[in-house]
Structure 1
Amino acid sequence: MRWFLTVLGVIFAVVVFLFLDYSLPSKQTVRITNTYNRLTDIGANAIFYASPDAGTVQNTQGQRDVRFIETVRPNGRPFVYRNEDTGWIWPPYFKYDSSNLHAQATDLRSTSADPRWVSVTSYGWRVSWLSIYPNAIAIKPVAGPDVRPFNWAAQIILLILGALLFLIWRMWNQFRERTIDPAVRSADEAWDRLDARADAARDHIATETAEARGRVRRWWDGIRGR
């Protein structure tokens, strides 16, 4: 049973980590190279795109016109963002300005000869073989490729979640100390009393049996004249 609970706890921790890793905002310093719209096939990966009621239109072939932002990291590796409104779906970023963000990204495009570095705030993962892209939330110009703005939003959310978990843990401990532990002790004491009664009854039966055997033996010996 212990190993089952351990495995269950590990699985739960991994799920929570992946959920937070996908949902929390992240910041990356990049250089924007291109912005464009593309008719994109939405299929099994639809969960990683905005819902149709968030301002996007999907045709009968399962295709959607999605805005993309192409960037290059300081190490030269490319990185692509999508730019979709989130609406009221999860995660709750309430983004409705994808058109404005697209215009801003287009205005901040640059070349390697004359780079302009920006910090892009986004959520989600980039998985090439599944055509999954992080969704850009905000773009802010920075002084250079070495600038790494502190991710205040993610840190504050993690602190709030940590405080909530601590509060839940304290409430559980108090509930266990006030309710569960006394009930367990009462059950243990009741079991001990029951066990003691069973032992006493067993001893009493053994004593009565021995006395009965003694009386029968004396009676039999009396009949035989011993």
Structure 2
Amino acid sequence: MRWFLTVLGVLFGVIVFLFLDYSLPSRQTVRITDAYNRLTDIGANAIFYASPDTGTVQNAQGQRDVRFINTARANGKPYVYRNEDTGWIWPPYFKYDSSNLQAEATDMQSSAASPQWVSITSYGWRISWASIYPNAISMRPVAGPDVRPFNWPAVLILLVLGALLFLIWRMWNQFRERTIDPAVRSADEAWDRMDARADAARDHIAAETREAQGRLSRWWAGIRGR
């Protein structure tokens, strides 16, 4: 039973980590190389795109006109963002300015010869083989490729979650101390009393049995002595 609870706890921890890793905002310093729209096939990976009710139109063939932002990192490797409104769905970034953000990205394009570095805040993962892209939330210019703005939104969210978990843990401890522990003690005491009564009943039955055996032995001895 213990190994099952351990495995369950590990799986729960992995799920929570992946959920937070996808949902929390992250920041990368990149150089924007292109900003464009593209008809994109939405299929099994639809969960990693915005809901259609946020304003993005999807045609009968399952294609959606999605805004993309191509970037290059300081090491020269490409990194592609999508730019979609989130609306009121999860994660709750309440983003409705994807058009303005696309205009900013177009204005901040630069070449490798004359780079303009930008810090882009986004959430999500980049998985190339599954056509999954992080969703850009905001951007602002920075002085150079080594500038790493402090990711205070993620820290603030983690602090709030930590405080909520601590509050839930304290409430659970109080509930356990006031309700569960007394019930467990009462059940243990009742079980001990039942066990004691069972032992007493067994002793009584054993004594009665020995006494009956003694009477039977004496009776049989009396018969044999006749």
Q: 2:180 maps to which residue?
A: 180
Shift, 1:178, TM fit: 1.4
1:93-104 matches, cutoff 5 A = 93-104=93-104
Q: Which amino acid is the alignment partner of residue 123 of structure 2? A: Y
Shift, 1:109, TM fit: 0.5
Q: 2:223 maps to which residue?
A: 223
1:31-70 matches, cutoff 5 A = 31-70=31-70
Shift, 1:223, TM fit: 3.5
Shift, 1:208, TM fit: 1.1
Corresponding residue SS for 1:129? helix
Shift, 1:211, TM fit: 1.3
Q: 1:105 maps to which residue?
A: 105
Choose 202-211 or 146-155, whichever is displaced more. Answer: 202-211
Report whether the alignment pairs 1:9 with 2:9: yes
Shift, 1:222, TM fit: 3.0
For residues 47 and 221 of structure 2, what CA distance do their matches in structure 1 show?
93
Q: 2:20 maps to which residue?
A: 20
Q: Deviations over 1:75-103 (max 9, x none)?
A: 11100000111111111111110110000
RMSD of aligned residue pairs (Cα, Å): 1.1
1:111-130 matches, cutoff 5 A = 111-130=111-130
Runs of 4 or more, structure 1, over 6 Å off, are: none
Q: Which amino acid is the alignment partner of residue 170 of structure 1? A: R
Choose 62-71 or 181-190, whichever is displaced more. Answer: 181-190
Q: Deviations over 1:199-219 (max 9, x none)?
A: 111111111111122222223
For residues 212 and 193 of structure 2, what CA distance do their matches in structure 1 show?
28
Q: Which amino acid is the alignment partner of residue 178 of structure 1? A: R
Q: 2:72 maps to which residue?
A: 72
For residues 5 and 91 of structure 2, what CA distance do their matches in structure 1 show?
30
Gaps (5+ residues) in structure 2?
none
Q: Deviations over 1:117-162 (max 9, x none)?
A: 0100000000000000000000110011110000110000001101
Report whether the alignment pairs 1:163 with 2:186: no
For residues 166 and 115 of structure 1, what CA distance do their matches in structure 2 show?
46
Choose 181-190 or 13-22, whichever is displaced more. Answer: 181-190
Q: Which amino acid is the alignment partner of residue 57 of structure 2? A: V
Q: 2:210 maps to which residue?
A: 210
Corresponding residue SS for 2:187? helix
Report whether the alignment pairs 1:144 with 2:144: yes
Shift, 1:176, TM fit: 1.2
Choose 119-128 or 174-183, whichever is displaced more. Answer: 174-183
In the superposition, the TM-score normalised over structure 2's length comes to 0.97
Shift, 1:57, TM fit: 0.5
In the superposition, the TM-score normalised over structure 1's length comes to 0.97
Q: 1:88 maps to which residue?
A: 88
Shift, 1:220, TM fit: 2.9
Question: Equivalent pairs: percent with the same residue?
Answer: 83
Gaps (5+ residues) in structure 1?
none
Corresponding residue SS for 2:136? strand
For residues 177 and 57 of structure 1, what CA distance do their matches in structure 2 show?
54
Q: 1:134 maps to which residue?
A: 134
